[in-house]
């Protein structure tokens, strides 16, 4: 028998932990715009311990035991399958947790002192590549690569958060895939770009198919500290594996979380 929300393996059904379901309004926003923000998901104590870990990882990774040398290890490991994230991914990628992979992670640490040109718009337009596709079929969303951003510091609107073109994951007449995305639309002043402000511990969710870019961090009071995680359907992979997500780090995680880093296949050998 198969668990409602889980998978079946040699040891029998594996129950998935409970998730916090995505709301109907969040689904509406994700379909309409390709992204949405949930302010203040993490309480202050969690933000603080994750931020401390990320700061150490950025500044002095060698001081961490080898299995904790990754942005989502140790005190940040719980982010891998945070119930708020799983509620979203199980709605937009696949209802079964085992059909979801975590394929890439990095830290964005831009600041007013060090920021360089971050304006590098990419993706956008209906995309048929499986990893960047966004489709709606038979009443449900099928999102390929889906980006989860944990903003650990305050983001002031227009001062360095991710910028996105709402609805661009579904644009029909132009596509970044075939090089027809208009240059005019990429101008930061084109009026097409949207961004956000949010308190520490907020969650930004977007389809990687949305045209998006980083932007210069101009807030002098705090740098950006964000963990950007890419999830995808288990049958596809877009990113080359990150060196930080190596067997030592993955092996240090709780077993159910290790499953997010399985190889890219579903069907086991039967003969
Ligand atoms: O750093 C950012 O705000 C944007 C990140 C980005 O471009 C991406 O996730 O592909």
Domain ranges of the chain: 20-261
pLDDT at 215 > cutoff 80: yes
Cβ count within 10 A of residue 167: 17
Average pLDDT value for residue range 216-231:
97
Average pLDDT value for residue range 227-235:
98
Average pLDDT value for residue range 106-132:
92
Percent above pLDDT 90 for the chain: 89
What tokens does 138 get?
């038979």
Which of these, 177, 186, 238, lies nearest to 215 by C-alpha position? 186
First to last CA, the chain: 21
Specify the pLDDT at position 7. 40
Strand 202-207 with 146-151, pairing: antiparallel
CA 109 to centroid of ligand 1, rounded, Å: 11
Report the run of H or E that residue 251 belongs to, with start and end: helix 247-251
Annotate 218-236 with b (16+ C-beta within 10 A) or e (fewer): ebeeebbbbbbbbbbbbeb
What tokens does 89 get?
């991914």
pLDDT at 40 > cutoff 90: yes
Helix (H, G, I), strand (E, B) or coil at 130: helix
Specify the pLDDT at position 13. 46
CA 213 to centroid of ligand 1, rounded, Å: 5
Percent above pLDDT 70 for the chain: 94
Local confidence band at 116 (pLDDT 50, 70, 90 cut-offs): confident
Residue 228, ligand 1, Cβ within 6 A: yes
* 78 or 8, greater pLDDT: 78
Domain 20-261 classification at class level: mainly beta
Residue 211, ligand 1, Cβ within 6 A: no
pLDDT at 68 > cutoff 60: yes
Q: Which of 2-11, 115-124, 172-181 has the lowest mean pLDDT?
A: 2-11
pLDDT at 221 > cutoff 70: yes
d(CA 214, CA 117): 9
Report the run of H or E that residue 202 belongs to, with start and end: strand 202-207
Q: Which of 8-17, 73-82, 224-233 has the lowest mean pLDDT?
A: 8-17
What tokens does 74 get?
């140790």
- Closest Cα to atom 2, ligand 1: which residue? 214
CA 226 to centroid of ligand 1, rounded, Å: 10
Let me know: does 89 contact 231? Beta carbons within 8 Å.
yes
Q: What is the mean pLDDT of the chain?
A: 93
Local confidence band at 4 (pLDDT 50, 70, 90 cut-offs): very low
Residue 212, ligand 1, Cβ within 6 A: yes
């Amino acid at each position: 028998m198969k668990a409602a929300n889980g998978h079946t393996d040699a040891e029998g059904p594996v129950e998935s932990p409970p998730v916090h379901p995505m709301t109907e309004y969040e689904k509406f926003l994700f379909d309409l715009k390709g992204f949405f923000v949930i302010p203040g998901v993490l309480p202050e104590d969690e933000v603080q311990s994750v931020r401390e870990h990320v700061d150490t990882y950025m500044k002095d990774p060698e001081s961490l035991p080898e299995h904790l040398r990754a942005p989502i290890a140790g005190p940040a490991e719980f982010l891998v399958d945070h119930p708020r994230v799983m509620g979203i991914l199980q709605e937009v990628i696949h209802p079964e947790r085992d059909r979801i992979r975590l394929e890439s992670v990095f830290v964005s640490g831009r600041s007013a002192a060090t920021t360089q040109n971050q304006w590098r718009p990419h993706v956008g337009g209906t995309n048929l590549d499986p990893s960047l596709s966004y489709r709606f079929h038979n009443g449900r969303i099928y999102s390929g690569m889906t980006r989860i951003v944990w903003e650990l510091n305050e983001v002031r609107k227009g001062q360095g958060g991710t910028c996105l073109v709402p609805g661009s994951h579904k644009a029909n007449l132009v596509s970044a895939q075939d090089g027809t995305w208009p240059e005019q639309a990429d101008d930061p002043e084109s009026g097409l770009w949207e961004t956000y402000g949010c308190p520490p511990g907020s969650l930004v969710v977007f389809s990687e198919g949305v045209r998006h870019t980083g932007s210069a961090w101009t807030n002098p009071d705090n740098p950006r500290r964000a963990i950007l995680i890419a999830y995808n359907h288990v049958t596809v992979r877009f990113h080359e594996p990150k060196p930080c997500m190596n067997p030592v780090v993955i092996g240090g995680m709780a077993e159910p979380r290790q499953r997010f880093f399985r190889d890219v296949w579903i069907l086991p050998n039967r003969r």
